[in-house]
Structure 1
Amino acid sequence: MTAEHTPKRIGQGMWMVAWVLLLGLLYLFFEDTISQHYNPNQNLIADNGSATVVLQRNRAGHYVAPGKINGTDVTFLLDTGATTISIPEAVANKIGLEKGFRSDVSTANGNITVYNSTLDSVQLGGIKLLDIRGHINPYMDGETVLLGMSFMKHLEITQKGNTLTLRR
Protein backbone atom coordinates (compact mmCIF):
# COMPACT_ATOMS: atom_id res chain seq x y z
CA MET A 1 0.00 0.00 0.00
CA THR A 2 1.41 3.37 -0.97
CA ALA A 3 1.39 6.46 1.20
CA GLU A 4 -1.12 8.23 -1.09
CA HIS A 5 -3.70 5.41 -0.65
CA THR A 6 -3.61 5.57 3.19
CA PRO A 7 -5.48 8.92 3.56
CA LYS A 8 -8.03 7.77 0.98
CA ARG A 9 -8.69 4.53 2.93
CA ILE A 10 -8.96 6.45 6.20
CA GLY A 11 -11.45 8.81 4.58
CA GLN A 12 -13.52 5.90 3.25
CA GLY A 13 -13.45 4.31 6.69
CA MET A 14 -14.65 7.55 8.31
CA TRP A 15 -17.53 7.79 5.80
CA MET A 16 -18.49 4.20 6.53
CA VAL A 17 -18.48 4.86 10.30
CA ALA A 18 -20.58 8.02 9.75
CA TRP A 19 -23.16 6.07 7.72
CA VAL A 20 -23.35 3.28 10.30
CA LEU A 21 -23.89 5.86 13.07
CA LEU A 22 -26.55 7.66 11.03
CA LEU A 23 -28.39 4.41 10.29
CA GLY A 24 -28.17 3.43 13.97
CA LEU A 25 -29.66 6.77 15.05
CA LEU A 26 -32.44 6.49 12.46
CA TYR A 27 -33.23 2.98 13.69
CA LEU A 28 -33.48 4.17 17.29
CA PHE A 29 -35.69 7.12 16.31
CA PHE A 30 -38.07 5.08 14.16
CA GLU A 31 -38.19 2.15 16.58
CA ASP A 32 -39.39 4.54 19.29
CA THR A 33 -41.86 6.17 16.88
CA ILE A 34 -43.29 2.80 15.80
CA SER A 35 -43.50 1.65 19.41
CA GLN A 36 -45.33 4.87 20.33
CA HIS A 37 -47.83 4.28 17.50
CA TYR A 38 -48.55 0.73 18.73
CA ASN A 39 -48.73 1.73 22.41
CA PRO A 40 -49.37 5.44 22.93
CA ASN A 41 -49.94 4.66 26.62
CA GLN A 42 -46.50 3.20 27.30
CA ASN A 43 -45.72 5.94 29.82
CA LEU A 44 -48.86 5.21 31.85
CA ILE A 45 -48.15 6.06 35.46
CA ALA A 46 -49.12 3.45 38.03
CA ASP A 47 -50.52 5.95 40.52
CA ASN A 48 -51.87 3.74 43.29
CA GLY A 49 -53.88 6.68 44.65
CA SER A 50 -55.92 7.07 41.47
CA ALA A 51 -58.85 4.82 40.64
CA THR A 52 -59.09 6.33 37.14
CA VAL A 53 -57.05 5.40 34.07
CA VAL A 54 -57.26 7.34 30.80
CA LEU A 55 -55.99 5.58 27.67
CA GLN A 56 -55.41 6.80 24.11
CA ARG A 57 -56.33 4.62 21.14
CA ASN A 58 -53.46 3.52 18.90
CA ARG A 59 -53.44 3.94 15.10
CA ALA A 60 -55.05 0.53 14.62
CA GLY A 61 -57.96 1.58 16.86
CA HIS A 62 -56.92 -0.54 19.85
CA TYR A 63 -56.21 0.36 23.45
CA VAL A 64 -52.80 -0.98 24.45
CA ALA A 65 -51.22 -0.22 27.80
CA PRO A 66 -48.55 -1.45 30.21
CA GLY A 67 -49.66 -3.21 33.35
CA LYS A 68 -48.76 -5.92 35.80
CA ILE A 69 -49.88 -9.46 36.57
CA ASN A 70 -48.71 -10.74 39.95
CA GLY A 71 -46.19 -7.88 40.01
CA THR A 72 -44.63 -8.77 36.63
CA ASP A 73 -44.68 -6.16 33.84
CA VAL A 74 -46.88 -7.06 30.87
CA THR A 75 -48.47 -5.30 27.91
CA PHE A 76 -52.25 -5.39 27.80
CA LEU A 77 -54.55 -5.15 24.80
CA LEU A 78 -58.01 -4.29 26.13
CA ASP A 79 -60.54 -6.74 24.70
CA THR A 80 -64.19 -6.36 25.73
CA GLY A 81 -64.97 -9.42 23.61
CA ALA A 82 -62.81 -11.65 25.80
CA THR A 83 -64.56 -13.19 28.79
CA THR A 84 -61.36 -13.53 30.81
CA ILE A 85 -57.78 -12.35 30.71
CA SER A 86 -55.99 -14.43 28.09
CA ILE A 87 -52.25 -14.86 28.68
CA PRO A 88 -49.86 -16.29 26.09
CA GLU A 89 -48.15 -19.39 27.46
CA ALA A 90 -44.69 -17.81 27.16
CA VAL A 91 -45.81 -14.84 29.29
CA ALA A 92 -47.48 -17.18 31.80
CA ASN A 93 -44.19 -19.07 32.15
CA LYS A 94 -42.32 -15.79 32.74
CA ILE A 95 -44.83 -14.80 35.45
CA GLY A 96 -44.66 -18.28 36.99
CA LEU A 97 -48.33 -19.18 36.54
CA GLU A 98 -49.37 -22.79 36.92
CA LYS A 99 -51.82 -24.37 34.54
CA GLY A 100 -55.16 -25.12 36.14
CA PHE A 101 -57.92 -27.28 34.76
CA ARG A 102 -58.45 -27.47 31.00
CA SER A 103 -61.28 -25.59 29.35
CA ASP A 104 -62.54 -25.35 25.81
CA VAL A 105 -63.23 -21.80 24.68
CA SER A 106 -64.59 -20.30 21.51
CA THR A 107 -62.44 -17.65 19.82
CA ALA A 108 -62.65 -15.73 16.58
CA ASN A 109 -60.39 -18.42 15.11
CA GLY A 110 -62.43 -21.35 16.38
CA ASN A 111 -62.48 -23.54 19.49
CA ILE A 112 -59.27 -24.05 21.48
CA THR A 113 -58.20 -25.57 24.78
CA VAL A 114 -56.86 -23.22 27.47
CA TYR A 115 -55.81 -23.68 31.08
CA ASN A 116 -57.62 -21.75 33.80
CA SER A 117 -55.69 -19.77 36.36
CA THR A 118 -56.45 -17.37 39.19
CA LEU A 119 -54.27 -14.28 39.08
CA ASP A 120 -53.27 -12.95 42.49
CA SER A 121 -53.22 -9.36 41.21
CA VAL A 122 -53.83 -7.48 37.98
CA GLN A 123 -52.87 -3.83 37.71
CA LEU A 124 -53.54 -1.22 35.04
CA GLY A 125 -52.30 2.21 36.05
CA GLY A 126 -53.64 2.94 39.55
CA ILE A 127 -56.34 0.26 39.31
CA LYS A 128 -55.33 -2.96 41.03
CA LEU A 129 -57.67 -5.92 41.43
CA LEU A 130 -57.05 -9.14 43.35
CA ASP A 131 -58.02 -12.75 42.61
CA ILE A 132 -59.01 -12.29 38.98
CA ARG A 133 -59.83 -15.17 36.64
CA GLY A 134 -57.65 -15.68 33.61
CA HIS A 135 -56.44 -18.41 31.37
CA ILE A 136 -53.18 -19.52 29.84
CA ASN A 137 -53.48 -19.75 26.08
CA PRO A 138 -50.88 -22.03 24.45
CA TYR A 139 -51.98 -20.87 20.98
CA MET A 140 -51.26 -17.14 21.43
CA ASP A 141 -48.07 -15.81 19.90
CA GLY A 142 -46.25 -12.74 21.12
CA GLU A 143 -46.11 -11.04 24.48
CA THR A 144 -49.40 -9.14 24.53
CA VAL A 145 -52.01 -10.17 27.11
CA LEU A 146 -55.70 -9.76 26.25
CA LEU A 147 -57.28 -7.86 29.15
CA GLY A 148 -60.78 -9.27 29.14
CA MET A 149 -63.99 -8.72 31.03
CA SER A 150 -62.96 -10.68 34.13
CA PHE A 151 -61.00 -7.48 34.93
CA MET A 152 -63.04 -4.80 33.18
CA LYS A 153 -66.45 -5.86 34.56
CA HIS A 154 -65.36 -4.28 37.85
CA LEU A 155 -64.90 -0.88 36.18
CA GLU A 156 -66.94 1.91 34.70
CA ILE A 157 -65.87 2.25 31.06
CA THR A 158 -66.38 5.42 29.03
CA GLN A 159 -65.18 5.90 25.47
CA LYS A 160 -65.19 9.33 23.87
CA GLY A 161 -63.39 9.88 20.58
CA ASN A 162 -59.92 8.32 20.83
CA THR A 163 -59.95 8.21 24.63
CA LEU A 164 -61.05 5.41 26.93
CA THR A 165 -61.57 6.17 30.61
CA LEU A 166 -61.63 3.34 33.12
CA ARG A 167 -62.88 4.16 36.60
CA ARG A 168 -63.01 1.89 39.66
Structure 2
Amino acid sequence: MDKETNTQRRLGRIMWLLVWGLGLALLTWYFQQKLEQEYNPNRQVQLVDAQTIVLEQNRQGHYLASGAINGEPVVFLLDTGATQVAIPQAVAARLGLVVGQPLRLSTAAGSVTGYRTRVKTLSLGPFTLYDLHAVIMPGDNDEILLGMNALRQFELIQRGEQMTLRYY
Protein backbone atom coordinates (compact mmCIF):
# COMPACT_ATOMS: atom_id res chain seq x y z
CA MET A 1 0.00 0.00 0.00
CA ASP A 2 2.83 2.38 0.88
CA LYS A 3 4.52 1.72 -2.48
CA GLU A 4 1.23 2.28 -4.32
CA THR A 5 0.68 5.61 -2.50
CA ASN A 6 4.18 6.84 -3.44
CA THR A 7 3.58 5.90 -7.07
CA GLN A 8 0.26 7.79 -7.08
CA ARG A 9 1.87 10.86 -5.49
CA ARG A 10 4.71 10.81 -8.00
CA LEU A 11 2.21 10.47 -10.86
CA GLY A 12 0.16 13.33 -9.39
CA ARG A 13 3.24 15.58 -9.23
CA ILE A 14 4.16 14.75 -12.81
CA MET A 15 0.60 15.59 -13.93
CA TRP A 16 0.72 18.95 -12.08
CA LEU A 17 4.08 19.76 -13.66
CA LEU A 18 2.65 18.94 -17.09
CA VAL A 19 -0.42 21.12 -16.43
CA TRP A 20 1.75 24.04 -15.28
CA GLY A 21 4.10 23.59 -18.24
CA LEU A 22 1.19 23.53 -20.68
CA GLY A 23 -0.33 26.60 -19.00
CA LEU A 24 2.94 28.53 -19.28
CA ALA A 25 3.32 27.52 -22.93
CA LEU A 26 -0.22 28.70 -23.73
CA LEU A 27 0.30 32.02 -21.92
CA THR A 28 3.58 32.55 -23.76
CA TRP A 29 1.90 31.85 -27.11
CA TYR A 30 -1.04 34.17 -26.29
CA PHE A 31 1.16 37.12 -25.29
CA GLN A 32 3.47 36.58 -28.28
CA GLN A 33 0.42 36.81 -30.58
CA LYS A 34 -0.72 39.94 -28.75
CA LEU A 35 2.71 41.60 -29.13
CA GLU A 36 2.82 40.73 -32.83
CA GLN A 37 -0.67 42.20 -33.31
CA GLU A 38 0.39 45.44 -31.57
CA TYR A 39 3.56 45.62 -33.69
CA ASN A 40 1.75 44.98 -37.00
CA PRO A 41 -2.01 45.45 -36.66
CA ASN A 42 -2.34 45.08 -40.44
CA ARG A 43 -1.38 41.45 -40.89
CA GLN A 44 -4.76 41.16 -42.61
CA VAL A 45 -5.39 44.38 -44.57
CA GLN A 46 -8.89 45.89 -44.23
CA LEU A 47 -10.47 46.03 -47.69
CA VAL A 48 -13.07 48.81 -48.05
CA ASP A 49 -13.80 48.27 -51.76
CA ALA A 50 -11.95 47.04 -54.84
CA GLN A 51 -9.71 50.14 -54.88
CA THR A 52 -9.37 51.01 -51.18
CA ILE A 53 -7.68 49.59 -48.09
CA VAL A 54 -7.40 50.97 -44.55
CA LEU A 55 -4.35 50.55 -42.31
CA GLU A 56 -4.21 50.98 -38.53
CA GLN A 57 -1.28 52.65 -36.77
CA ASN A 58 0.81 50.49 -34.49
CA ARG A 59 1.71 51.56 -30.93
CA GLN A 60 4.71 53.53 -32.18
CA GLY A 61 2.54 55.51 -34.62
CA HIS A 62 3.86 53.74 -37.74
CA TYR A 63 1.90 52.10 -40.50
CA LEU A 64 3.08 48.55 -41.10
CA ALA A 65 1.36 46.08 -43.36
CA SER A 66 1.95 42.52 -44.45
CA GLY A 67 2.43 42.02 -48.16
CA ALA A 68 4.63 40.21 -50.64
CA ILE A 69 7.58 40.79 -52.94
CA ASN A 70 7.90 38.40 -55.86
CA GLY A 71 5.32 36.21 -54.11
CA GLU A 72 7.29 35.95 -50.84
CA PRO A 73 5.71 37.30 -47.62
CA VAL A 74 7.23 40.49 -46.19
CA VAL A 75 6.36 43.36 -43.83
CA PHE A 76 6.20 46.88 -45.25
CA LEU A 77 6.71 50.10 -43.31
CA LEU A 78 5.06 52.98 -45.17
CA ASP A 79 7.65 55.74 -45.52
CA THR A 80 6.70 58.86 -47.45
CA GLY A 81 10.21 60.17 -46.82
CA ALA A 82 11.80 57.33 -48.80
CA THR A 83 12.23 57.94 -52.52
CA GLN A 84 12.23 54.26 -53.44
CA VAL A 85 11.36 50.92 -51.93
CA ALA A 86 14.26 50.09 -49.60
CA ILE A 87 14.97 46.45 -48.75
CA PRO A 88 17.36 45.36 -45.98
CA GLN A 89 20.23 43.13 -47.14
CA ALA A 90 19.05 40.09 -45.17
CA VAL A 91 15.56 40.28 -46.70
CA ALA A 92 16.97 40.88 -50.21
CA ALA A 93 19.11 37.76 -49.86
CA ARG A 94 16.10 35.72 -48.69
CA LEU A 95 14.08 37.01 -51.66
CA GLY A 96 16.90 36.23 -54.09
CA LEU A 97 17.04 39.78 -55.44
CA VAL A 98 19.82 40.64 -57.88
CA VAL A 99 22.37 43.03 -56.39
CA GLY A 100 23.05 45.76 -58.93
CA GLN A 101 25.33 48.76 -59.08
CA PRO A 102 26.35 50.38 -55.81
CA LEU A 103 25.11 53.87 -55.01
CA ARG A 104 25.61 56.33 -52.19
CA LEU A 105 22.44 57.02 -50.18
CA SER A 106 21.54 59.64 -47.59
CA THR A 107 19.51 58.20 -44.74
CA ALA A 108 18.40 59.41 -41.34
CA ALA A 109 21.38 57.49 -39.93
CA GLY A 110 23.82 59.15 -42.33
CA SER A 111 25.38 58.29 -45.66
CA VAL A 112 25.51 54.59 -46.61
CA THR A 113 26.23 52.44 -49.64
CA GLY A 114 23.24 50.65 -51.12
CA TYR A 115 22.70 48.65 -54.29
CA ARG A 116 20.22 48.99 -57.10
CA THR A 117 17.76 46.18 -57.70
CA ARG A 118 14.38 45.56 -59.34
CA VAL A 119 11.27 44.03 -57.87
CA LYS A 120 9.12 42.08 -60.33
CA THR A 121 5.97 42.21 -58.19
CA LEU A 122 5.04 44.00 -54.99
CA SER A 123 1.69 43.12 -53.40
CA LEU A 124 -0.12 45.05 -50.70
CA GLY A 125 -3.57 43.69 -49.94
CA PRO A 126 -5.38 43.16 -53.26
CA PHE A 127 -3.03 45.49 -55.18
CA THR A 128 -0.02 44.35 -57.16
CA LEU A 129 2.59 46.72 -58.55
CA TYR A 130 4.97 45.56 -61.27
CA ASP A 131 8.62 46.15 -62.17
CA LEU A 132 9.64 48.63 -59.47
CA HIS A 133 13.08 50.10 -58.87
CA ALA A 134 14.33 49.39 -55.35
CA VAL A 135 17.48 49.71 -53.30
CA ILE A 136 19.13 47.12 -51.10
CA MET A 137 20.16 48.79 -47.85
CA PRO A 138 22.65 47.67 -45.23
CA GLY A 139 20.95 46.36 -42.10
CA ASP A 140 19.43 43.25 -40.68
CA ASN A 141 15.91 44.33 -39.76
CA ASP A 142 12.93 42.72 -41.50
CA GLU A 143 10.92 45.80 -42.48
CA ILE A 144 10.89 46.96 -46.07
CA LEU A 145 10.44 50.71 -46.48
CA LEU A 146 7.59 51.25 -48.91
CA GLY A 147 8.84 54.42 -50.59
CA MET A 148 7.23 56.98 -52.84
CA ASN A 149 7.92 55.15 -56.10
CA ALA A 150 5.28 52.66 -54.89
CA LEU A 151 3.12 54.97 -52.77
CA ARG A 152 2.65 57.54 -55.55
CA GLN A 153 0.26 55.08 -57.17
CA PHE A 154 -2.12 55.58 -54.22
CA GLU A 155 -4.07 58.45 -52.76
CA LEU A 156 -3.10 58.59 -49.07
CA ILE A 157 -5.52 59.97 -46.48
CA GLN A 158 -4.65 59.92 -42.79
CA ARG A 159 -7.39 60.45 -40.21
CA GLY A 160 -6.74 59.80 -36.55
CA GLU A 161 -4.96 56.46 -36.26
CA GLN A 162 -5.95 55.18 -39.70
CA MET A 163 -4.53 55.63 -43.17
CA THR A 164 -6.68 55.02 -46.23
CA LEU A 165 -4.94 54.03 -49.45
CA ARG A 166 -6.95 54.33 -52.65
CA TYR A 167 -5.37 52.77 -55.74
CA TYR A 168 -5.54 54.92 -58.91
Counting only pairs closer than 5 Å after superposition, residues 13-162 of structure 1 correspond to structure 2 as 13-44=14-45, 50-137=50-137, 139-162=138-161
Shift >4 Å, 4+ stretches: none
- 2-side partners of 1:46 and 1:74: how far apart? 19
Tell me, which stretches of 5 or more residues in structure 1 are unaligned? none
How many residues are matched? 166
Farther-moved stretch of structure 1 (108-117 vs 50-59)? 50-59
Percent sequence identity is: 41
Contact 2:82/2:145 (<8 A) preserved = yes
Deviations 1:41-62 (A, max 9, x none): 1112689x82222101111101
Answer yes or no: is 1:4 the counterpart of 2:5. Answer: yes
SS of the counterpart of 1:81?
A: coil
- 2-side partners of 1:54 and 1:167: how far apart? 9
Contact 2:47/2:54 (<8 A) preserved = no
- 2-side partners of 1:130 and 1:51: how far apart? 17
Output the amino acid matched with 1:145: I
Contact 1:40/1:58 (<8 A) preserved = yes
Contact 1:85/1:149 (<8 A) preserved = yes
Distance 1:45 1:95, change over 3 A: farther
- 2-side partners of 1:46 and 1:116: how far apart? 32
Tell me, which stretches of 5 or more residues in structure 2 are unaligned? none
Q: What is the TM-score of this pair, normalised by structure 2?
A: 0.92
RMSD: 1.8
- 2-side partners of 1:63 and 1:125: how far apart? 14
